[in-house]
Amino acid sequence: MFAKKYIVEAIGTTILTLIILLINNPIATSFIWASLLIIRKNQTHGYFNLAVTCSLYAARFISLKDMLRFSFYQTIGSFAGLICFKYITGSYFTPDTTIINSFSVLSIIEALSAAILCMTILTIHEPTKEKNSSSVAHTAIISAITLIGLQTVGTILHPSFGLAVFLGTFLDTGNELFKQQLHINTHYTLVYFVIPTAAGLCSYQIKKWTNEEL
């Protein structure tokens, strides 16, 4: 059981990362992500995204040990997706921020996007302990719609992938990117790894506070 669920988590993250890199299409990647949720039968797992994993831990759906293990295998999956992209295209991937040329704006978008996605998953996750097929479909549909909306504004929303992109720079030591733009990749790491991870950890408290206020 240990090997199976974590290996599936790594494989799912690899698929998701590679799809994001190759297609870069919000609708396509959204339904791929939703399909991965269906594959997992909506069980309490990592959902192939570090921000979501952190929110599930904050809500006590998973233990600290599980959160660390899922995060580890998600990072492995992200690296695998990055290497596959390198093999297919011949180059490593660097996020394109030409549309929104501001790290502050990107940071705000990423934080809000991660928080919204995590709160959506937590909201749908709570009443699904029976694990019936309708609840699984409901989760997949809501998650797909949410991710379509979030990716439309230009966010990658994949913290482990953000870390893989940053570390992938070190693998490509002959590239000018390594020599001239390492500081930019440091910012990418902040935007796509640190900020969404923090948002994931805070999303449960935000959701709890919102429910109490309403």
pLDDT of the residue at 49: 81
> In the chain, what are the domain boundaries?
2-213
Q: Do residues 4 and 72 lie in contact, with contact meaning Cβ atoms separated by under 8 Å?
A: no
The pair of structure tokens assigned to 32 is 């791929």
The CATH H-level (homologous superfamily) assignment of domain 2-213 is Glycerol uptake facilitator protein. (1.20.1080.10)
Could you give the count of Cα atoms lying within 13 Å of 181 in the half-sphere of its Cβ? 15
pTM over 0.85: no
The pair of structure tokens assigned to 190 is 């902040």
Percent of the chain with pLDDT strictly greater than 70: 51
pLDDT band at residue 118 using 50, 70 and 90 as cut-offs: confident
Which of 14-18, 57-61, 131-135 has the largest mean confidence? Answer: 57-61
List alpha helices for the chain, DSSP H: 2-23, 26-39, 50-58, 64-89, 103-125, 133-152, 159-171, 176-180, 182-189, 195-213
Answer whether residue 205 shows pLDDT above 70. Answer: yes
The pair of structure tokens assigned to 43 is 């069980």
Rounded-to-integer distance, Cα 7 and Cα 25, Å: 26
Segment 124-151, tens digit of pLDDT: 666 544 445 555 556 556 666 666 666 5
Q: What is the mean predicted confidence (pLDDT) over 170-192? A: 59
Q: If DSSP codes are grouped into helix, strand and coil, which group holds residue 56?
A: helix
Rounded-to-integer distance, Cα 70 and Cα 13, Å: 10
Determine the residue type at 91.
S
Segment 74-100, tens digit of pLDDT: 888 888 888 888 888 877 666 655 555
